[in-house]
């Protein structure tokens, strides 16, 4: 989702001009958009290197236990896991098991199951979290902001009316009120059993 993230986090609505530590002044143009910007995603994109299949986190996760892999549901062609670097509590990713990079490479079966798992994930998150909305999306390619561009993944980000705050601006920190293990357990428990 980094593709939805501005290059310049200082360009917040209403802030106008912001001085950097070295004295440079950055101009910001206010608009109607809220910002989700996440410097921690640099962990994913450092050096611009994409993982090979052998050390791809989305290929490795299914071989782990649900708890260790942060997996909430497993389908036949795709599975659902928690994002290790969430934008919000309950930020899920739907991945095909196959190491394919873009949506057009997915088979009809994979497309159908990614869609079905996305719908189920939305229903479960709504039940568990009582959120007000979602961001859904797939970034296709590094240029479009995909952290792990080598392995297709659909983001499901629950949103609350009150979820934007000033922590990201002043502390480069997202406030995440629940631990990943707790979030995984509550979503997995609410997931309809096949
Ligand atoms: Zn992979």
Q: For the full predicted model, state whether its pTM sits above 0.85.
A: no
Lowest mean pLDDT among 52-61, 94-103, 119-128: 52-61
69 C-alpha vs ligand 1 centroid, how far in Å? 14
Query: Other CB atoms closer than 10 Å to residue 125's CB: what's the count?
Result: 25
78 C-alpha vs ligand 1 centroid, how far in Å? 12
- Coil, helix or strand for 118? helix
The residue ranges of DSSP E strands in the chain, in sequence order, are 17-19, 25-27, 71-74, 78-82, 92-96, 133-137, 154-159
Neighbouring residues of the ion ligand 1, judged by CB less than 5 Å: 56, 58-59, 99, 151
For residues 40-61, average pLDDT: 67
164 C-alpha vs ligand 1 centroid, how far in Å? 32
Q: Is the pLDDT of residue 15 over 70?
A: no
Say which residue the tokens 């109607």 belong to. Answer: 32
- Coil, helix or strand for 187? helix
* Tens-digit pLDDT profile for residues 76-99: 999 999 998 887 888 999 999 999
Per-residue pLDDT, 8: 36
Among 40, 91, 130, 153, the active-site one is 153
CA angle at 135 for the pair 39 and 74, rounded to the nearest 5°? 95
Burial class (CB in 10 A: 0-12, 13-18, 19+), 119: exposed
User: Which residue would you say has higher pLDDT here, 8 or 182?
Assistant: 182
For residues 121-128, average pLDDT: 96
Pick from 54, 84, 44, 88: which is nearest to 68 by CA?
A: 84
Per-residue pLDDT, 76: 98
CB 46 within 8 A of CB 85: no
142 C-alpha vs ligand 1 centroid, how far in Å? 15
**Domains of the chain: residue spans and CATH:** 38-190 (3.30.428.10)
Per-chain mean pLDDT for the chain: 77
Per-residue pLDDT, 166: 54
157 C-alpha vs ligand 1 centroid, how far in Å? 21
Q: Is the pLDDT of residue 54 over 60?
A: yes
100 C-alpha vs ligand 1 centroid, how far in Å? 7
20 C-alpha vs ligand 1 centroid, how far in Å? 38
Annotated active-site residue 40? The verdict is no
């Amino acid at each position: 989702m980094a593709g939805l993230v501005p290059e310049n986090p200082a360009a917040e609505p209403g802030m106008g001009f912001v001085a950097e530590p070295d004295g440079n002044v950055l101009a910001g143009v206010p608009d109607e958009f809220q910002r989700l910007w996440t410097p921690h995603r640099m962990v994913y994109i450092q050096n611009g290197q994409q993982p090979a299949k052998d050390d791809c986190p989305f290929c490795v996760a299914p071989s782990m236990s649900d708890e260790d892999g942060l997996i909430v549901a497993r389908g036949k062609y795709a599975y659902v896991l928690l994002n290790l670097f969430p934008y919000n509590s309950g930020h899920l990713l739907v991945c095909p098991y196959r190491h394919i990079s873009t949506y057009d490479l997915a088979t009809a079966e994979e497309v159908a199951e990614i869609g079905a798992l996305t719908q189920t994930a939305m229903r479960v998150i709504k039940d568990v979290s009582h959120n007000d909305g979602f961001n859904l999306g797939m970034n296709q390619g590094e240029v479009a902001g995909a952290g792990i561009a080598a392995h297709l993944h659909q983001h499901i980000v629950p949103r609350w009316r009150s979820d934007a705050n000033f922590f990201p601006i002043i502390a480069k920190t997202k406030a995440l009120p629940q631990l990943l293990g707790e979030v995984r357990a509550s979503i997995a428990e609410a997931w309809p059993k096949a």
